[in-house]
Amino acid sequence: MDKHREVYREEAYELLLELETALLELEETPDDQNLIGRVFRAMHTIKGSGAMFGFDDIVAFTHEIETVFDRVREGRIPVTKDLVDLTLLACDQVKKMVDGDQIDESAKENILEAFRKMLPDKGQMEETDPELREISHEQPETPSPKSQIQSVTYRIRFRPNPEIFATGTNPILLLDELRALGTHQVKGQTKDIPSLKDLNPEFCYLYWDIILTTTEGINAIKDVFIFVEDECELRIDIIDEEEELQGDSDYKRLGEILVERGDLSADELRKALSDQKRLGEVLEETGVIEEGVVDSALAEQQRVRQARQTRQEKALASSIRVAADKLDTLVDLVGELVTVQASLSQKASTQKDAELVSISEEVERLTAELRDNTMGIRMMPIGTTFSKFKRLVRDLSSELGKEVVLTTDGSETELDKTVIERLNDPLVHIIRNSIDHGIEPPEIRQAGGKDRQGTVRLSAVHSGAHVLIKISDDGKGLDPEVIRAKAVEKGLISPGAELLESEIFSQIFAPGFSTAKEVTDVSGRGVGMDVVKRGIEALRGFIEIASGKDLGTTITLKLPLTLAIIDGLLVQIEKAHFVLPLSSVEECVELTHEDAKNTNGRHIMKVRDEFVPYVPLRELFGINGDKPLIEQIVIAELDDHRIGFVVDQIVGEHQTVIKNLGKVYKDAKGFSGATILADGTVALILDANGLSEVAMMEERGFRSIV
């Protein structure tokens, strides 16, 4: 049961996020019935699943909220900002219950009491509905034709999967809930029960046929099965509707009903009626219809059945839930396989055995496919993360007395799940800063000719082996003079230092830096943006800031698609090997001693009419030995500039399984990890962004970082 309760918790978190997202969208379009339905279904599923796994507190709490949204579905309660606010508070309470945290009972009761007050009593409904008031006072015994709801009779087949007991579901409870909807007949079918020796006591072999007459509508029936819809075969057909009796009151023949239900095939029916001619033949012989018309009707029947079967199979097999630790173990194993495959390829090329080479090439192909598929499994759309921030923007703008809306773009962009998980905190800090420091109060915006409502925009787009995430606002922008003055005050830069605007903007990432005049609950303590920088650098990414006075600010995060396995360029200096991420490598050129002399000691080279600075890694890393006559420069493209890295030789492309350096080396500048080569030696993975900072120190001379 503990395992199943944990599964419920995972599903509840997803449902709460869906509920929160739907509520925020509903606030913008309060008349959208689809959104109202999404809110109700999410709440109903949280309640129903909670009942199965013993979360009685959640069931009791959500029941009254569900009642309110049932009235919303009926149009008896309008969607207001107060309702959305209250439901979001209820979501927070439910999350605490799911987590098992201590609950403030008085706060919970206050929320429930507020929901109860929203339920219209008879007097309230008479006040809001003139027609109902007139009926109530003048004709209390005669219901209005408008208020009469027609009853409908449904045929329902509920066939649960045999393994449904393993999820904690009791089908009898579902049938009891269904019985409460109206007049019913329930028939349990036992034909699938095997003999005693083949019977598994943990399997459900029964299925049920239900005839239900109700005024509640088909949605009420679907709501009963909403949290087991992926664990059963469910069919709901309307077989009778309440109308004025006209003509014959007879119903379908027995054979038609059995065929319609799927209990009898058309072939079996024809065999049973073999002494009679087929309906199509009779109709053709009598000249009522032509043969082509019958064929067309049969084709329609077959096509619809095939389409429904395909949809059902797709719904049952569309996804599977896998624990994150199992996925991480799979990635680790694939990483080890990549290393072993590299050893096999090296051994095959050394021995020059044609058969062994053929085998190693096949293993290399299969390993590459397995690697790509495994990495694809880890990829997740970033839209889920984006959705979380709508609540943050709504609550924060209300707290600060501002009018701010969040827009998103590129929610379908996929990133490694590890990157997404570690991206949450940096994005929270950036968005909070955008609202607090960037977006002006409504009155100031209006006085400056802007809309009262400010906008924070989140976007994501693929760029090669990276993803660019942009957080932009239409606020007042960054003031370089204010930032410079604060940086001088804190001793971060000297008063006479000549800095580019981008270098001035980068000062906001310094620990303890803040331009806020007073400390608030949101910002002003100088913590946040330094956390952003450390977090993004830990992901092997980098940050760029673009801003203009009254033009807003755009912060761009450039992140790798994955942190597990990358394509790298293996290079060598003396006997040491290093790896540069291939995604940032643009080209490789030669560097002779003569080329180096012609620059008068400056580390710069002209490549196709463009001057490119380079970093001699041998000197930077303090590696002794003689330089080769011709060195190699690996030119990398970093955002808006290019930089070269000088090495002795280039070995070639290399599938790089990234290993962490450990806590001891976490602050080692210029390295993002290590990898194991085919011969068992370790190669350090270079951080091109970190090393590029060395180029700025060229005039002051290089200093070893080891």
pLDDT greater than 60 at residue 613: yes
* Residue boundaries of the structural domains of the chain: 2-144, 146-243+251-316, 324-378, 382-560, 565-700
- CATH number of this structure's domain 382-560, picked from the four choices 3.40.50.1110, 3.30.70.150, 3.40.50.300, 3.30.565.10: 3.30.565.10
Percent of the chain with pLDDT over 90: 8
Q: Considering the entire predicted model, what is its pTM?
A: 0.60
Is residue 391 a contact partner of residue 441, using CB atoms and an 8 Å limit? no
Task: Extract the tokens encoding 588.
Answer: 């490789």
CA 572: distance to chain centroid?
Answer: 41
**pLDDT digit string, tens, across residues 573-597:** 998 999 998 878 889 999 888 877 7
- CATH number of this structure's domain 565-700, picked from the four choices 3.40.50.300, 2.30.30.40, 3.30.200.20, 3.40.50.9100: 2.30.30.40
Select from 573, 574, 580 the least CA-distant residue to 672: 580
2-144 belongs to CATH 3.40.50.920: no
Contacting residues for 339 by C-beta, under 8 A, at least 6 apart: 657, 676, 678
- Least confident range from 304-313, 367-376, 593-602: namely 304-313
Kindly list the distances between the CA atom of residue 80 and the CA atoms of 27, 28, 72, 73, 256, in Å, as whole numbers in the listed order.
Answer: 7, 10, 11, 14, 50
**pLDDT digit string, tens, across residues 490-544:** 888 888 777 878 788 888 888 777 766 554 555 544 456 888 888 887 787 878 8
Kindly tell me the burial class for residue 121, based on how many C-beta atoms sit within 10 Å of its own C-beta (0-12, 13-18, 19 or more): exposed
**pLDDT digit string, tens, across residues 267-309:** 776 666 665 666 666 666 776 665 665 666 656 556 555 655 6
Q: Is 88 helix (H, G, I), strand (E, B) or coil?
A: helix
Q: Which fold has domain 146-243+251-316?
A: Alpha-Beta Plaits (3.30.70)
What is the residue type of 202? E
Band of pLDDT at residue 126, cut at 50, 70 and 90: very low
DSSP of 242-298, one letter per residue?
A: -----S------HHHHHHHHTSS-HHHHHHHTTTS--HHHHHHHTTSS-HHHHHHHH
> Alpha-carbon distance 703 to 484, whole Å?
27
CATH code that applies to domain 324-378: 1.10.287
DSSP of 536-589, one letter per residue?
A: HHHTT-EEEEEEETTTEEEEEEEEES-SSEEEEEEEEETTEEEEEEGGGEEEEE
